[in-house]
Structure formats: C-alpha cells, structure tokens
Amino acid sequence: MQSRQFVQIVALSALWGASFMFIRIAVPLMGSMVVAGLRAALASLTLVIIMAAMREPWPWRHWRELLLLGTTSVAAPFLLYSWAGLHLPSGYGALLNTTAVIFGMLAAAWTKEDTITPRKLLGCVCGFVGIALIVQLGPVQITTTTLAAALACVFGSFCYGVSTPLMKRATTRMQPLAIAAGLHLAAMLLLLPGSLWALPQARFTPGAVAAVVVMGMLTSGVAYWVHLRIIRVVSPVAAMSPIFLIPVFGVTWGHLFLGEALSSGIFLGGALVLLAAALVTGFNPLRRWWPGTPPL
C-alpha cells in the first residue's frame, strides 16, 4: 500500500469516527428511521451533483448489483446503527463496529478476493486489544433492549463486512463515483417509506440537522467515494482497516466536542490500533527511506 492510500484511510477513520458522535446527537431527536433516510438522501444528492459536475455516466445496466450493494453496505447498516444509538453508548457502537473486519476477512477469503495470513490475524488481535484499552466502557444494564441493540450493531457490521469484497468486484465494472452514487440512491429508495412514516415524530433542532447534514454529505457521500477508490487498488481487508482506527477518533471527537473524559489507555491503545492497521494493510513507512524493507 502506498503512503497516499494509508493517509486516505486515516482520514476516512476520522470522518467515520465522528459519525458515532453525530448519531448520538441526532437520533434521540429525529428518530432512527428519519436519520438513516436523510443520511442516504443527502449522500445521494451530494454524489449526484459531483456526478453531474464530472459528467460521469450512470451505470443503469448494473442496477441489480447496485441495489444489492445499497441494501447491504448502506441501508441496513445506517438503520441498524441508528437504532442501536438510541440504546447503547457511542463507545459500544464503535467497538462492535470492529467486528466488520472479521466478517470482511472471511468473506474476502471465501470469494477469493483476499487471503487470510498470520500477519492479518495478528493485526486483528492488536486492533481489538487496542480498542479495549481506548474504549473503557462503563457498566451497562443488561436488558432485552440493550442486547438487541448490540446484536443490531454486530449485524450491521456483518452486512458491511460481507459487502466489501462485492464492492471490490464492482469496481472492475464501474467507476467508484458511479458505484457510490448508485448504491446510496438505492438505499434512499429502500429507506424512504419508513422515513416518511416516522417523519411526523421527528424534532428538527439545529444541532440534529447539522449532525445529519455532515453525516450525509461527508461521512457517507464523499467518504464512500474515497473508500471505493481505495478498494479499487488495495485488497478488501486492507480497505477495511479504517474500522480499527474509528474508536481512536471517536474518543477524540467526543473529548473535544462533547467534553467526554479521555481514558487512561488512549495512548497505548492508539499505538496498538495504528500497528493493527499497518499489519492488516501491509503498509510500512520505513520503505520510503529504506526500499529494501519488507511490508509489515
């Protein structure tokens, strides 16, 4: 992996880490259905404008593939994480989100888009240990609702994980921008009925609206386009490495903007998570100065 892709992965982690904070801001006021639907709609609008500006053709003949990708990589995760955000702290969502790497690694191996190696397994272990140090979660009362919310996060991660190899294959037939726009449009159509049904109960405060706008335009629309550009040139598992970094940024944004306390394990945990990302992606910055240095 080149330095440029690694920097883009870190930038994606920063954006997606902020999304858990925005979900906690918006969902209690607007509801999970409305937040998920507006997020997909705003991402679609953003990408349609970019498509028009760049005169990118629409891949209409691949609509079935885009509908499948829109369901598994956008509609289902958006709705599941939004609903879970009503019942679980954002730290739990960020932690459970990392299970997508495991699902993605297994799916990539099954579809022969990638291989499972000891280095990647070690990277997963380092990532989970680092996240456990960063997100020192307090006790949560175990109820049917909290268990269901945790399962919703895991199922959302499963959907995202198994869809990543499929998106890798889609990039061989379509441009990343067209894929991003198409799958968000498909997700918007799928989420539209539920969003309209829940709309009368939504409270549109300035803070909640701003959170959804940022999620839709940046953490969904632009970020998915960048993510698909990365998937096109690296393996599916390497492209999923931002997931390990998401809790690092999630904790940081929570501290800076919501006044949440930093855990004692943030620095050691952050170092382990960075090591995990390097192991999973094979990125080794030393090769820039010592070309003979092998990838991690």
With 50 as the cut, is the pLDDT of residue 27 above it?
yes
CA distances (Å), origin 219, targets 42, 276, 291: 11, 23, 35
Residue 270 lies in a domain: yes
With 70 as the cut, is the pLDDT of residue 114 above it?
yes
Rounded to an integer, the average pLDDT of 22-36 is 94
Residue 296 lies in a domain: no
pLDDT score for 291: 46
Residue 224 lies in a domain: yes
Q: Which two tokens stand for residue 75?
A: 């509609």
Please write the tens of the pLDDT for every residue from 189-247: 999 999 999 999 999 999 999 999 999 999 999 999 999 998 888 777 777 767 777 77
> In a 10 Å sphere around its CB, with 0-12 CB exposed, 13-18 middle and 19+ buried, how is residue 112 labelled?
exposed
With 50 as the cut, is the pLDDT of residue 177 above it?
yes
With 50 as the cut, is the pLDDT of residue 296 above it?
no
pLDDT score for 67: 96
pLDDT band at 293 (very low <50, low <70, confident <90, very high): very low
Q: Where is average pLDDT lowest: 25-29, 89-93, 160-164?
A: 89-93
Q: For the chain, what is the radius of gyration of the CA atoms?
A: 18
With 80 as the cut, is the pLDDT of residue 278 above it?
no
pLDDT score for 92: 72
Q: How many domains does the chain have?
A: 1
pLDDT score for 262: 63
Q: Judge contact between 213 and 42, C-beta under 8 A.
A: yes
Residue 295 lies in a domain: no
Please write the tens of the pLDDT for every residue from 71-89: 999 999 999 999 998 887 7
CA distances (Å), origin 42, targets 4, 116, 149, 224, 295: 27, 36, 25, 13, 39
Rounded to an integer, the average pLDDT of 52-65 is 93
Q: Answer yes or no: pTM beyond 0.85.
A: no
Residue 119 — φ and ψ, nearest 5°? -60, -45
Domain that holds residue 126: 3-288
pLDDT band at 290 (very low <50, low <70, confident <90, very high): very low
Q: How far apart are the C-alpha atoms of 263 and 20, rounded to whole Å?
A: 17
> In a 10 Å sphere around its CB, with 0-12 CB exposed, 13-18 middle and 19+ buried, how is residue 264 labelled?
exposed
pLDDT score for 34: 97
What is the DSSP-derived secondary structure letter of residue 61?
G
Residue 257 lies in a domain: yes
pLDDT band at 289 (very low <50, low <70, confident <90, very high): very low
* Closest C-alpha among 97, 36, 90 to residue 257: 90
Residue 73 lies in a domain: yes
Mean of all residue pLDDT scores within the chain: 83
Please write the tens of the pLDDT for every residue from 115-151: 878 888 888 888 778 777 665 555 557 678 888 888 8
Q: How far apart are the C-alpha atoms of 296 and 282, rounded to whole Å?
A: 5
Instruction: Give the rounded percent of residues in the chain with a pLDDT score beyond 70.
Output: 82
Residue 25 lies in a domain: yes
Residue 271 lies in a domain: yes
Q: Which residue has the tokens 């943030």?
A: 266
pLDDT score for 90: 72
